[in-house]
A and B are shown apart, each in its own frame.
Chain A
Amino acid sequence: MHSIMIGHLRDSVSLLPMEDLRPVYEFYRRLFELAPEAQPLFTREAGQQAKKFSDMLAWVIAHLEHADELRKEMRELGARHRGYGVTADQYASVGSALIWMFQHALGDRFTPEMEEAWLEVFAFISLEAERGAREAESTSIDP
């Protein structure tokens, strides 16, 4: 991943007002507007879910220089998501809610370059998650 792109990703996250996880709650609100059918897939209490998302965001940001680790983690995530019934098309709503969260929280400070960087990295991690789901499906043994 290009260092300039990594800089845009880190800058955008550093600008998020995460003290009370408000942007994350807004992310989920937007996600369930876009994909109401996804809401039952999230069974955790809202605060726990927000904390989990925030931790995942921080982990991704910390591992941007380590594509292999990112790839491995996202494939494992995709394999777990497959078990919950997440479809390839639902990743589009997740990405859309993610970009919307930054737009909503940062306004004009969310630059086109930051958006471009997030589009790239989300395409990467969501396709790796899809691949993880496909691999899990191909190795699962039906009764």
Chain B
Amino acid sequence: MVLNAAVVTRHVDRALSSALFCKAERQSRFLRFVVDAALRSPEATIKEFEVGMAVYDRRSDYDPRTDPIVRVEAARLRARLREYYEITPSDGVRIDIPKGRYVPKFTSVAAPQGQAGSDLSILLSPFRSLSPDPADQNFCDGLSEEVLHKLAQEPALRVVTQSVAAWLEQREGPKPRFLLEASIRRAGAELRLTLHLTELTNGGSTRLSNIYRATMNDIFITQERLAEEICSDISAALRADEVG
């Protein structure tokens, strides 16, 4: 599905009319505010101060350092969106607000097809570091483990982990339907992870392609957050295949 402002706005309208949002007036305003801002100006940043003023009626002396209302509500909104996508059939769009920022991320996910195949097997190729620092490959190995652990909790998924080369050499046994690959680049404390989920049995079509950003502070927490975001996106992208 091609994401444009009209599609995203329809999706937000649908979400805000759901039971999860309809009695959470401020959270609804919060979501609408950040989505509208991002649609108006995709490259813009959204500051905590702006949200506090626009959504929570703070005055000009509002100081986010001592008034955490926006951070509290952002955490609740992220959790509310996750819950919404867990219980609501996909309409082809997913909105996430990654931790550490207020600019939402719009993802096109597969819409329900009713008769979709039920093979949800994934070949998880160990994540690669594109930097020469061996510590970055250690970080990738840990992140791969974290993602594998989380995906393994999904009963509908069958996850195989090995290198693509090893898989290509394998001649026996069932072939995984999807290939998950990711690589990281790091500049100082800033990290970018590029991820591709490809459907191998459908001419190599891309099911999910995202770039994730993180700041390296606590390695374990960074791995945990990235893994959570990645697995949430993968689940959303594959959810249509669980139907039927």
Interface residues of A (CB under 8 A from B): 2, 4-5, 34, 87-89, 91-93, 95-96, 99-100, 103, 113, 115-116, 119-120, 122-124, 126-127, 130, 134
Contact = CB atoms under 8 A, between A and B. Distances in A.
Interface residues of B, number: 25
Given A122-B75, A134-B23, 15 more contacts: A2-B224, A4-B218, A4-B224, A88-B23, A92-B27, A96-B67, A99-B72, A100-B66, A103-B66, A115-B68, A120-B75, A122-B72, A124-B79, A127-B76, A127-B83
A87 B24 CA distance: 8
Given A89-B26, A96-B68, A99-B68, A4 B75 contact: no
Interface of B: 19, 23-27, 66-69, 71-76, 78-80, 83, 217-218, 220-221, 224
Given A2-B221, A4-B220, A100 B26 contact: no
Most chain A beta-carbon neighbours within 10 Å: one of B75, B78, B80: B75
Contacts of B24: 88-89, 130
Contacts of A123: 72, 75-76, 78-79
A134 B69 contact: no
A113 B221 contact: yes
Contacts of A116: 221
A115 B224 CA distance: 17
A113 B224 CA distance: 13
B218 A113 contact: yes
Contacts of A130: 23-24
Nearest to A104: B66
B79 A100 contact: no
